[in-house]
Structure 1
Amino acid sequence: MSQCCKKIRDTVQNLASDHKDIHSSISRVGKAIDRNFDADLCGIVPAMVWESQEKQILVLAIIEHFYQQGLLGVAEELCQVMEARAETVFIWHRDTDDYNTIPYLSYTERCCPLPSWAVSHRQPLAELNSSLEFQLHRLHFIRLLAGGPGKELEALNYARHFQPFAHLHQQEIQVMMGSLVYLRLGLKNSPYRHLLDDSHWTDICDTFTHDACGLMGLPVESPLSVSFAAGCVALPVLMNIKAVIEQRQCAGVWSHKDELPIEIELGMKCWYHSVFACPILRQQTTDSNPPVKLICGHVISRDALNKLINGGKLKCPYCPMEQNPADGKCLIF
């Protein structure tokens, strides 16, 4: 017993020594989190924001995110718990019958409903210039090629499905037909080995996601995930500005009323709408101050137009043309 106890103590001591570096790293994790993540967002978000209509909008965004990810059970449970508006649930149930297959298609190709879905939606997909149906036929043709010698005749017969797509995908069809020459020698050791790449299925899933969302008028990316990514970019900058404002004791600089103290660049990925700034007033146009196109073709803001009116006439600030202010047309970007 004494020998066993000694052996156990030695083993424990050796383990503690071997894992000393790991334990020291783990012990610093908490301090690193506290140092790099500020949980106090009171200075960034108005205090009443979650007690108004925005809270309901956030709940609906979370529910839509779960529906869009195919997590129907989670979304329905959240609807019951949060007492979300019932019409939103019904809209998603009606519109996402096909879309909900996306998460499962990423993991398995068995019993795939996509070919029948693409055929039943052929006309609307054609209006979107979608290549989904062709990609599905190409994938099936490649599966036949992967079967090796003895599949030539079946592959040739199936190649007739490519006829409707010949004018748009001629080069890709030529490549697939040329691969038949190397079928007896094995495609893995041929110039056509790229046809056996697993990325074809991933491309089909991405195309289906894009096209299905386009048909239903839904964004490809979840609005919640996009907002979260934008927040990860914007919050560190806002936290730094908050610290500077508190340090210099100029709290009145930032009033939180739909404005930011500085310009924050989120990158091209987060650009969804065009922005027009009035060249006269140097202000960004809004719904209440829209851009106006003059007869001469120059564009200014509504406020600038009103300030330039003299004696019931308007002289364009960029050319000598005089015109009636009522002839200006509001633009929508």
Structure 2
Amino acid sequence: MESCAAVEKEVEKVINKFSAINDHSQRIIGDVISLIEKLRSSITEGNPDSKVTAGQVDVLNEALTKTKDKLHRLTTEHRDLHGTVSKVGKAIDRNFVADFTATSRTDAFQTERNVMLLNKIMAQHFYRQGMDDVADALIKESGLPAEDIVPEPYAELHRIWEAIHTGNLAPALDWASRYSAELDARNSTLEFKLHRLAFMQILNGGVQAQTEAIAYARTNFAKFVRRFEKDIQILMGTLIYLQIGIHNSPYKYLTAPEMWIETADVFLKDACQLLGINKDSPLSVIVNAGCTALPALLNLKQVMMSRQVTGIWNGRDELPIEIDLEPENRFHSIFACPILRQQSSEDNPPMKLLCGHVISRDALNKLSNGPILKCPYCPMEQCPSDAKLIYF
């Protein structure tokens, strides 16, 4: 954040200088135009067939000199602006790292399996974004088996989400109607919010749309009275202000663009939860997590290079430090073995004993005494092979 603040400070200086130069330029150009207009008036007042007098020549020369001087000042100010703009680039170079190869794993995509996995999540991402032609081309050129790409309903959801942003509620209302029972079971507010937007959209037609709006409310709001009685009363209150316009009433917030953005996001969230798919594509999650972790990894790599201990990181699937990726990127719980006080990993997963207690595999092996394992938390004895691998 400190780096962003440093760059933002330089950007603000450029913006302020742009504004100052723009204001000054407008004044100078206005003065030049005024000067030329006066000059033209003084010349046209005389006889058009008469010759230019010496006095008029002096006036012309004086006007040209003033114009050149003002334009020269504009050019100088514009030239000085270049230095201020260049400082932004220097601030970016000074506060951000351009070379990220220090944190990369050169062996990550050397195996065919990893390359195919990368192509797969890229193709899935393109399908999610509605870019079917790009995804099809990637599958064809990479040789990825088409059956490996499991079709998701996300493409339809994305199109509906985009339609909401463009003011088209018909696809979203149709989808919400199809899944109305499931949405009610989840106590979702989506269907009501869509009908609220549709109601306000009708009211944008003014007084002549009042009858249509009332009919729409009677048809669609009855099922929501118990949960959204107060909200419906507010919507009915908007009818009073049709004469002066909703934008001039206390209810103008109902027509704000933020209402559409919020409803679109609620649709995407509830629809993904209902259909059991992730809101974000795996590629988006990976990129966002990587961007969050990158500053800490760069700092760590610099420290390790200065102490000449970079070898301990190479080839490991674990990071030497813990990085907080925020709650939205936590998809499962993490098990910490109560015996060895270590977090579980793929090589050391959690194991459930017959008695129900859970320890890590390394702890299981250390506590085993031949074919007998005594639980460290209860007196039950059991066979180590009876322990079950569990997933968090």
Q: What one-letter code is carried by the residue in structure 1 that aligns with 2:115?
A: K
| Cα distance in 2 between the residues matched to 1:230 and 1:97 | 23
Q: 1:23 to 1:152 in 2, by over 3 A?
A: closer
The aligned residue for residue 75 of structure 1 is: 135
SS in 2 for 1:300: strand
| Cα distance in 2 between the residues matched to 1:296 and 1:111 | 55
| Cα distance in 1 between the residues matched to 2:171 and 2:86 | 50
Q: 1:23 to 1:252 in 2, by over 3 A?
A: same
**How big is the shift at 1:274?**
0.9
CA contact (8 A) 2:335 2:350 kept: yes
* Gapped regions of structure 1 (runs ≥ 5): none
| TM, length-normalised to structure 1 | 0.79
| Cα distance in 1 between the residues matched to 2:98 and 2:142 | 24
Q: What one-letter code is carried by the residue in structure 1 that aligns with 2:135?
A: A
The aligned residue for residue 198 of structure 2 is: 140
Q: 1:56 to 1:29 in 2, by over 3 A?
A: farther
Which residue, out of 183, 208, 211, partners 2:270?
211
| Cα distance in 1 between the residues matched to 2:340 and 2:264 | 48
Larger Rg, first or second structure (1 or 2): 2
The aligned residue for residue 24 of structure 1 is: 83
Q: 1:156 to 1:325 in 2, by over 3 A?
A: farther
Q: What one-letter code is carried by the residue in structure 2 that aligns with 1:135?
A: K
| Cα distance in 1 between the residues matched to 2:244 and 2:89 | 59
Q: Is 2:131 aligned against 1:65?
A: no
* Gapped regions of structure 2 (runs ≥ 5): 1-60
Q: Is 2:388 aligned against 1:321?
A: no
Q: How many residues align?
A: 328
| Cα distance in 1 between the residues matched to 2:246 and 2:100 | 58
| Cα distance in 1 between the residues matched to 2:304 and 2:256 | 55
- Write out aligned runs for 1:164-313 (5 A): 164-180=223-239, 183=242, 187-294=246-353, 298-310=357-369
**How big is the shift at 1:226?**
2.5
Q: Deviations 1:254-297 (Å, cap 9, x if unpaired)?
A: 23321212222222232222101101111212345433445665
Q: What one-letter code is carried by the residue in structure 1 that aligns with 2:280?
A: E
Q: Is 2:176 aligned against 1:118?
A: yes
CA contact (8 A) 2:161 2:268 kept: no
CA contact (8 A) 2:351 2:361 kept: yes
SS in 2 for 1:285: coil
**How big is the shift at 1:236?**
2.4
CA contact (8 A) 2:164 2:172 kept: no
Q: 1:26 to 1:153 in 2, by over 3 A?
A: closer
- Identity across matched positions, percent: 43
Q: 1:216 to 1:23 in 2, by over 3 A?
A: same
Q: Is 2:147 aligned against 1:87?
A: yes
SS in 1 for 2:221: helix
| Cα distance in 2 between the residues matched to 1:250 and 1:73 | 47
Q: What one-letter code is carried by the residue in structure 1 that aligns with 2:264?
A: C
Larger helix proportion, structure 1 or 2? 2
Higher deviation after alignment, 33-42 or 222-231: 33-42
CA contact (8 A) 2:129 2:155 kept: no
Q: 1:278 to 1:72 in 2, by over 3 A?
A: same
| Cα distance in 2 between the residues matched to 1:14 and 1:277 | 70
**How big is the shift at 1:157?**
2.7
**How big is the shift at 1:301?**
2.0
**How big is the shift at 1:73?**
3.8
| TM, length-normalised to structure 2 | 0.68
The aligned residue for residue 104 of structure 1 is: 162
